[in-house]
Amino acid sequence: MMPPLKRIAEYIRATDNFLITTHVAPDGDALGSMFAMAEILAILGKHAVMFNESGLPDRFAWIGSGQTILTELPAAEPDVIIVLDCGDRERAGTAILPWLGSKPVINIDHHLANPLFGTLNWVEQRTSSVGELVGRLAQELGIPLVGMLGQYIYLALISDTGNFCFNNTRPETLEMAAEILRMGLLPGPFHEHRQSTGTLNQLQMRGTVLQEARLYADGRIGLISFSRDLFERTSTGPEDTEGLVNAVLYIQDVQVAISVREEEQGIKFSLRSKGSINVQAVAASFGGGGHRNAAGGILDVDMESAQNSLVQAVTKAIHEAL
């Protein structure tokens, strides 16, 4: 059987109308791979729209090249839907779910336990990011990783590898990054754009949260929490919490970092681990998902019970990994 990359490339060449989507509350990989896919399809002369219920978060406003992300489904129905970086179809949000059940779907992902919900599925758990997969698709289609396309793929690569620090940084990842630099991307200005997007309020809110960090399980678990009250006091929101959970791993003996935040739908949690501790399994036990060292989900309980349940489950996971 033809490998998924080649099948998807052939399918794309033969199809005209696309809708590209990714998970709600999109991160750098989700957005980078979605914009990159839109760029590839534009270069091929195809008609494509991007859709995401959450729209483009403010901190990513700098990547928009005049292309809009629809937050409502378009009137014109696409021939096919490309779903990027979604560990399951529900992650794409509720609005698009009916179409995901009734139209051809190309599922390109790298999450553990992706149930292969697409008509065509290309799921590689070992690959750093969906952006890296989309970069390979561009190469397969003979499109160089230059200009905006290079930037989008680069954003995806650095976002999901923690600036090329995590174990998912493979030789192939760096070779793709090298190719993008060869094609002209300058890392200095790129990182300035990416990192200088904040406000004093956000900085101080993050400071408060770190100030109140707590340790559990003999210092092996570090926990930070974002309350609705804090968001209100500092005129910030859940989108301003991005990445702070990683800062907790700074503490020497901490094996797992937990971040919990109060949102409309419930308590959203993020887990980060060092080494072999599998936080994807912990998240999955609460209906969430992710990767071995980075996972998350949502709990429909109050803040205190959420913290207790998570600390308990993570303590168990740490013991099992010993």
Q: List interacting residues with Mn ion (CB under 5 A).
A: 29, 85, 160
Q: Give me the amino acid identity at 295.
A: A
With respect to Mn ion, which residue has the nearer C-beta, 49 or 134? 134
Question: What is the nearest approach in angstroms of Mn ion to the Cβ of residue 14?
Answer: 27
With respect to Mn ion, which residue has the nearer C-beta, 24 or 254? 24
With respect to Mn ion, which residue has the nearer C-beta, 50 or 223? 50
How far apart CA 277 and CA 58 sit, in angstroms, is 33
Q: Give me the amino acid identity at 112.
A: L
Question: What is the nearest approach in angstroms of Mn ion to the Cβ of residue 244?
Answer: 18
Question: What is the nearest approach in angstroms of Mn ion to the Cβ of residue 52?
Answer: 14
With respect to Mn ion, which residue has the nearer C-beta, 231 or 269? 269
The vertex-194 CA angle with 189 and 200, nearest 5°, equals 115
With respect to Mn ion, which residue has the nearer C-beta, 125 or 312? 125
Question: What is the nearest approach in angstroms of Mn ion to the Cβ of residue 153?
Answer: 13
With respect to Mn ion, which residue has the nearer C-beta, 133 or 224? 133
Question: What is the nearest approach in angstroms of Mn ion to the Cβ of residue 278?
Answer: 17
Residue 79 has what DSSP assignment?
S
Nearest CA among 301, 302, 296 for reference residue 23: 296
Tokens read off for 319: 């013991």
Question: What is the nearest approach in angstroms of Mn ion to the Cβ of residue 7?
Answer: 21
DSSP assignments along 11-40, one per residue: HHHT--EEEEEE-SS--HHHHHHHHHHHHH
Residue 137 has what DSSP assignment?
H
Question: What is the nearest approach in angstroms of Mn ion to the Cβ of residue 294?
Answer: 9
Tokens read off for 153: 């793929």
Tokens read off for 191: 């990182």
With respect to Mn ion, which residue has the nearer C-beta, 85 or 242? 85
CB atoms within 10 A of CB 282: 25
Question: In the chain, where do the E strands start and end?
Answer: 17-22, 47-51, 69-70, 80-84, 105-109, 120-123, 214-216, 221-226, 256-263, 266-273, 289-290, 294-299
Q: 74 and 98 in contact (C-beta within 8 Å)?
A: no
